[in-house]
Amino acid sequence: MFSENFISITLADVLGLLVTSIGIWLVVRQLTESKLASQMEGMLTLGDRFDGLLEHIILIFELTQSERWQQADSDEAYKIIYETKKNREAFFKIGSFYELLAVLVRRKVLDEQLPYDTYGDLVAKRWHSIEKAISAHRVAQGTDGYWEQWEWLALRFENYEG
């Protein structure tokens, strides 16, 4: 049933298998390193974009710390955001940044540990600081999905144990 050479393995066969295995390992390693390099490049680009938001972040932070904001319900918070062009611009720029970050994490373009290490609990803190204005904005726009990716990431990062 079996030929005499059925189980025989030559040195050339063993070397061929070894070279193939090492080649596959090197390709996988290179792909992993390329993905990590790509993610780090993405994080650096996001960092540059974040730096451009600092004045907006400060504006929204000061706004949300005011007594008026603290006392406001969702509709009033929405009105406060829309009172000035600067408030609106800050609101949308900050929201757009965190929405983009969340989409990249959710789609697994970025490993969630990288944004968590970089932005940590700021994602959730910023979400909760303007959540009532976002809620009213969703009603005004007639969409429950407005900035839902940021909301998802904020809730995820609240109890994150990376």
Q: Is 105 in contact with 157 (CB distance < 8 Å)?
A: no
Least Cα distance to 50 among 18, 9, 105, 98 occurs for 98
**Domain ranges, ordered by start, for the chain:** 38-158
pLDDT tens digits for range 17-46: 666 767 666 666 665 566 667 777 778 788
Q: How far apart are CA 92 and CA 70, in angstroms?
A: 20
pLDDT tens digits for range 75-105: 999 999 999 999 999 999 999 999 999 998 9
**2 vs 111, more confident:** 111
Q: How far apart are CA 141 and CA 92, in angstroms?
A: 14
**138 vs 4, more confident:** 138
